[in-house]
């Protein structure tokens, strides 16, 4: 059994606990032992928080990494933003001894240190590489009969040097296909959902990022959007509500890949608390797996 420290981040516990529930179910069903990372902080968020102050940002990231290192476990992350911060922080701390020394000087103030002994993994690569597509297919009890579009999100493209940046994006698509769903491609797959811009210019983020994507999806007649990042998920859901004030109406469900897998594995929708969503995800579940 593979064992990881699970990093929940800020958004999932606060806005989408259904993703937390689904992830726990999926880990259990795929025989992955997920240990809670007790006392973790914000990763910190790669757009606003991390860029406010490099020293504080790296210190918080290093502290999170040190918590996992103390457990002797690699991290599994359910959010693209957390993935980018922790992955890049880890790479810097592993390969820049002087930086690691500086950061450890700060961590020593709170009785911690980080030696660079763990790896940071996105849940997509953990499911693809540790569990494998064949096993995932065998676990599917209720094939997803739906036409879905995948929004991989920007930060999923972060990779080790020399590795194809599309690696995890392909893995995500194979995971979705393994559930039995049809995957539709859109010309705007690579366009950012607009989440990071929301804090600065809501109208721009909604009209120039989210709306064109939704129009594209609506035109393609998709049943839903699959993401692997709660920030993108929140943007797709809250964004559709906010777009109404600009005269644009959409009602496209958006769910995290672990929720899709949990539904396909036969976990009853009511156990996933899909009502946390602000888009018609419960209705999608009822339609595609006949469950409520």
**Residues near another protein (CB under 8 A):** 8, 10-11, 13-14, 17-18, 20-21, 36-42, 44-45, 48-49, 52-53, 55-56, 59-60, 63, 106, 109-110, 112, 199-200, 271, 273, 276
Q: Which is nearer to another protein, 20 or 173 (CB)?
A: 20
Q: Which is nearer to another protein, 56 or 241 (CB)?
A: 56
Query: Which tokens sit at 86?
Result: 């922790």
Q: Which is nearer to another protein, 223 or 291 (CB)?
A: 291
- Element at 255 (helix H, strand E): strand 254-256
Q: What is the DSSP letter of 209?
A: I
- Element at 171 (helix H, strand E): helix 167-178
Closest-CA residue to 148 (of 191, 187, 180, 122): 180
The rounded distance, in Å, linking the Cα atoms of 111 and 292 is: 48
Judging by DSSP bridges, how do beta strands 147-151 and 224-227 pair with one another?
A: parallel
Q: At closest approach, how far in Å is the CB of 49 from another protein? A: 5
Judging by DSSP bridges, how do beta strands 74-77 and 2-7 pair with one another?
A: parallel
Q: Which is nearer to another protein, 53 or 164 (CB)?
A: 53
Using an 8 Å Cβ cutoff, are 253 and 277 in contact? yes
- Element at 237 (helix H, strand E): helix 230-243
Q: At closest approach, how far in Å is the CB of 43 from another protein? A: 9
271 vs 3, 79, 147, 222, 275, CA distance in Å?
24, 21, 24, 25, 10
Q: At closest approach, how far in Å is the CB of 88 from another protein? A: 18
The rounded distance, in Å, linking the Cα atoms of 118 and 69 is: 6
Q: Which is nearer to another protein, 40 or 265 (CB)?
A: 40
The rounded distance, in Å, linking the Cα atoms of 70 and 263 is: 34
Q: Which is nearer to another protein, 65 or 148 (CB)?
A: 65
Q: Which is nearer to another protein, 50 or 151 (CB)?
A: 50
Q: At closest approach, how far in Å is the CB of 11 from another protein? A: 7
Q: At closest approach, how far in Å is the CB of 9 from another protein? A: 9
Query: Which tokens sit at 68?
Result: 């996992």
Q: At closest approach, how far in Å is the CB of 161 from another protein? A: 28
3-class DSSP assignment, residue 189: coil
Q: At closest approach, how far in Å is the CB of 134 from another protein? A: 31
């Amino acid at each position: 059994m593979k064992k990881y420290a699970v990093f929940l981040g800020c958004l999932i516990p606060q806005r989408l606990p259904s993703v937390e529930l689904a992830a726990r179910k999926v880990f259990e069903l795929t025989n992955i032992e997920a240990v809670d990372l007790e006392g973790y902080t914000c990763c910190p968020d790669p757009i606003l928080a991390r860029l406010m102050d490099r020293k504080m940002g790296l210190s918080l990231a290093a502290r999170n990494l040190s918590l996992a290192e103390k457990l002797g476990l690699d991290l599994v992350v359910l959010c693209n933003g957390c993935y980018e911060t922790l992955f890049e922080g880890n790479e810097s701390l592993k390969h820049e001894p002087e930086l690691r020394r500086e950061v450890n000087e700060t961590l020593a103030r709170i009785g911690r240190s980080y030696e660079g002994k763990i790896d940071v993994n996105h849940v997509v690569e953990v499911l693809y590489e540790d569990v494998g597509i064949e096993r995932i297919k065998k676990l599917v009890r209720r094939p997803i009969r739906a036409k879905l579009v995948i929004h991989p999100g920007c930060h999923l493209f972060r990779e080790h040097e020399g590795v194809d940046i599309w690696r995890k994006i392909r893995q995500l698509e194979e995971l979705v296909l393994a559930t039995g769903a049809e995957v539709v491609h859109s010309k705007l797959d690579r366009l950012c959902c607009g989440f990071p811009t929301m804090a600065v210019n809501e109208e721009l983020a909604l009209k120039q990022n989210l709306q064109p994507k939704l129009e594209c999806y609506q035109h393609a007649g998709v049943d839903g959007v699959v993401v692997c990042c709660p920030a993108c998920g929140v943007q797709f859901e809250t964004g559709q509500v906010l777009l109404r004030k600009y005269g644009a109406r959409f009602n496209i469900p958006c769910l995290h890949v672990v929720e899709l897998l949990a539904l396909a594995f036969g976990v009853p929708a009511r156990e996933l608390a899909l009502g946390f969503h602000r888009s018609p995800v419960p209705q999608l579940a009822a339609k595609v797996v006949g469950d409520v």
